[in-house]
Chain A
């Protein structure tokens, strides 16, 4: 039985600033270590740089404190820590690249993108007072997402880099629109599924204990599958295809609670992947590299050899348990050491200990996202949190899994850490959205003054919890009129459902 207690809700701002100091400290420490170990001296103008980075973080914190005082206190520091570690590694590789006369200067660009990303996150917190506004743009998001995904296929605009056509370029600027597309599609899935979930969940026959959907409800998942296949075939981008389809299936599951959707999704993806592996040489090559990376024949094959993967493994192996230390390894020996293979670079210099710590940060960050979804009251918010958290975690899984040969290597970037403006921007937008939603989730309602506060609260709690929603309840209204509160929009007290 739910009990209702009056308690002072902690905003968590104190925890946030404390964690933020630690997160900023990790980044600055890494940066100074790199400079000391590689150049023998602390970076020039270190006080200024460290000060600027600290001020940036503190400003974001203060704005969050102002506009979203109940936002989750862990999300922002976790993202700052990851970004800082990534920046330090990119800077460290810049030094090696400069010594070797290779193109360098990635760290300043990444820093600019960090500022843009953090700015975007802050803007979301400042100007989006209610995440439910996004629900109005469900189908706009779909169109935007698909357009962004397919943009690289436009002649002249699209760029083919390293065999994948996932970039667009205007002059010297390149961008991976797929990174932003994943947010658009998360908004669409959340908006669409919150409406369609009952049909998807409840209609349809039961076969062998599995609740199968009706054929006509299969449309969206087939569409998603189709788009994933198109991305795979036309853009030769295994990673985005996998990511996109994976998180759609995950959101379908959250919306419907039907394992059958997961099974259908896996079967579709498995079928598609098997076909792709057999009919597309670049996919086949990836699979061979995955299974037989150390074979000399595969290792020496060019193009499509495993040299890159194996070099990454060598780097990680040489890092061992404790790593070489910032600036003391040879991560520049691995191709794409600051982007696709930043995991190997970090493994070489920070060792297993460092990598496990970083995975833990990702774990905390994504779990806070899920936690936000559990806490928020509206179904759209729940689905959006699930989608955004899952897509981030899944991307980490695909990237690290590829580098460590858990799954075939695909060309995705490590959220927050890898060099790349589009990825950094999109992940900071996710941080902004999660901060905004978590404020809704954690904000207590004003203490009710009515004669029967307990009853009100319990009713509100019932409405808030979709788990006990009566099946006969009508599907949520498609597009509520602006300003009209939704049924589950009532502020409530803190409800302890233990």
Chain B
């Protein structure tokens, strides 16, 4: 009976080896798909219990995880709380949700990115707790601080880009909020904070910089109209005569377009483009828009990024250039009204493209991703987003925008010793509310280092008295002083 006994022994061994294989299959080969299963609550617990990596601005952590003695083991801390709220977003255990960089760079911060595989294996071998990687942002803290101070007490947004690379130097939406209040593990407190933020009429959770609300761009849109018009004919330049009537009767419509403040715009029916641009004559650009037609403008706006999904890695809501049903509507889009809707970031991109000789660099917020040992995992290389205009057109536009700040509607943005190029905008809201004040600019005009877009929703604290130049201009000045001076 010994032979069958030995065989039974072999059968037992085979059965147990089969169990080793099936156990290995579950714990090793199926593990990643099982861990990713949405029904697996452990993943949520573990995600929130992980030693998440920090978000770093100029060498300082602005969001990090601190050990805490509760179920999640780590509490996310944001400091200075509101300054970066719309950049970092929040990481909430209570709502099982995250926004901003916390959301879009989650795989690095949480340590699950495939680029972190090596350090995960090291953690396995050394038995240490897995740690997330860190994300370094392109933000210039001084510029961000200026944006926050300038927008304090007003609704609006500031975006500053490095036009030569696309790096986002400042991204601020006002009012901001304190992410710590939502990230707290205290359920009741987090819920109360959330409810309060939701109920706040100022809508602090909206990211006005990346376009969770889109705004009519007003006269800043004239940069794009001018760009399209210049691109059509290389002989056109700042001295080319354009129509500058005091009033423009729109075709098949009772509407009449007038110039800002009822001005006559030089009192002549045609004038140099330079004059029309720096005085922001509405009649001129409404007429140019009609001459160009909707398809031309649609193509030019698309070249600047309208209608395209963009992640920086924050999701940027695509700006809209509308379909128009009539020449009258097209005329209105020429002055950034009708259904033209833009994000602040989009308008900063317009300024940046002009500043960078017509080459629009892809905006990015993450400079470097590092593992827990600070080894570099990836560095963002600047890349071209599009080339909407020629270098010649860009140069002409620069001249025009310099004139706006030097002697036009944008004089409040002047910075001593620095040539600032800009374009103001004052956008009707289409309802009873006060107009939005805009200004886009870049400086120094000869060798641009920064391109900015400033939005004051409903004119900010100036309300109905707000103009792009007078209200947004001083903010542009402060930003450029901080960035260049």
Contacts and interface: CB of A to CB of B under 8 A. Distances in A.
A320 B31 CA distance: 7
A141 interface: no
A467 B426 CA distance: 104
A255 to B, nearest CB: 7
Contacts of A316: 23, 26-27, 31, 34
Interface residues of A, number: 53
**Interface residue tally of chain B, by bracket?**
35 or more
A467 B6 CA distance: 12
Contacts, number: 147
Contact of A321 (B13, B27, B30): B27
A228 to B, nearest CB: 19
Nearest to A325: B127
A367 B26 contact: no
Interface stretch (A233-241, A381-389, A453-461): A381-389
Contacts of B16: 359, 362-363, 366, 393, 396-397
A322 B28 contact: no
Interface string B9-50: 101110110111011111110111011010111110110000
A370 B28 contact: no
B22 A406 contact: yes
Query: Quick one: which of A255, A317, A352, A371 has the most chain B CB within 10 A?
Result: A317
A393 B12 contact: yes
A475 B43 CA distance: 63
A379 interface: yes
A397 B15 CA distance: 6
A355 interface: yes
B19 A347 contact: no
Contacts of A356: 20, 23-24
B14 to A, nearest CB: 10
A313 B16 CA distance: 19
Contacts of A394: 15
A359 to B, nearest CB: 5
A401 B19 contact: yes
The secondary-structure label for the interface of chain A is helix
B42 A330 contact: yes
A359 B20 contact: yes
A254 B5 contact: yes
A489 interface: no
Interface in B201-233: none
Given A330-B42, A397-B15, A404-B19, A373 B27 contact: no
Interface string A294-327: 1000010000000000100111111111100000
Nearest to A194: B1
Contacts of B22: 400-401, 404-406
Nearest to B73: A328
B34 A370 contact: no
Contacts of B3: 257, 467
B152 interface: no
A296 to B, nearest CB: 8
Query: Quick one: which of A319, A370, A401 has the most chain B CB within 10 A?
Result: A370
Interface string A199-222: 000000000000000000000000
Given A397-B15, A400-B19, A401-B18, A320 B2 contact: no
B42 to A, nearest CB: 5
Interface string A390-410: 100110110011001110000
A383 B1 contact: yes
Query: Quick one: which of B1, B13, B26 has the most chain A CB within 10 A?
Result: B1
A317 B8 contact: no
B2 A467 contact: yes
B4 interface: yes
Contacts of A130: none
B26 to A, nearest CB: 5
Interface string B337-359: 00000000000000000000000
Nearest to A400: B19
B370 to A, nearest CB: 24
B12 A367 contact: yes
B124 interface: yes
Nearest to B120: A320
A374 B12 contact: no
Given A317-B26, A352-B27, A401-B18, A390 B6 contact: no
A41 interface: no
A373 B5 contact: yes
Contact of B124 (A319, A321, A383, A396): A321
A396 B27 contact: no
B41 A333 contact: yes
Interface in B41-72: 41-43, 45-46
Contacts of A104: none
Contact of A386 (B5, B15, B20, B25): B5
Contacts of A351: 27
Given A318-B42, A320-B31, A333-B41, A374 B26 contact: no
A245 to B, nearest CB: 15
Contact of A299 (B23, B26, B39, B43): B39
A253 interface: yes
A264 interface: no
Contacts of B15: 393-394, 396-397
Contacts of B24: 352, 356
A58 interface: no
A465 interface: yes
A467 B25 CA distance: 40
Contacts of A383: 1
Contacts of B9: 366-367, 370-371, 374, 389
A400 B23 contact: yes
B42 A314 contact: yes
A316 B13 CA distance: 23
Given A401-B22, A405-B22, A322 B6 contact: no
A358 to B, nearest CB: 9
A359 B20 CA distance: 7
Contacts of B1: 254-255, 257, 379, 382-383, 466-467
Contacts of A379: 1
A250 interface: yes
Contacts of A373: 5
A310 B12 CA distance: 27
A144 B13 CA distance: 31
A379 B1 CA distance: 7
B121 to A, nearest CB: 10
B37 A314 contact: yes
A341 B205 CA distance: 45
Contacts of B127: 322
Given A313-B30, A322-B127, A406 B19 contact: yes
Contacts of B45: 330
Nearest to A300: B39
Query: Quick one: which of B4, B7, B15 has the most chain A CB within 10 A?
Result: B4
Interface in A42-81: none
A175 B46 CA distance: 38
B124 to A, nearest CB: 6
A386 B6 CA distance: 9
In the A-B complex, the 10 residue pairs with the closest CB atoms:
A317-B34, A370-B9, A404-B22, A406-B22, A317-B31, A393-B12, A352-B27, A397-B15, A314-B40, A254-B4
5 contacts: A250-B8, A314-B37, A317-B35, A393-B15, A400-B19
Given A316-B23, A320-B27, A363-B16, 13 more contacts: A250-B8, A254-B4, A310-B37, A314-B34, A316-B27, A318-B34, A318-B46, A374-B2, A386-B4, A389-B8, A396-B16, A400-B19, A404-B23
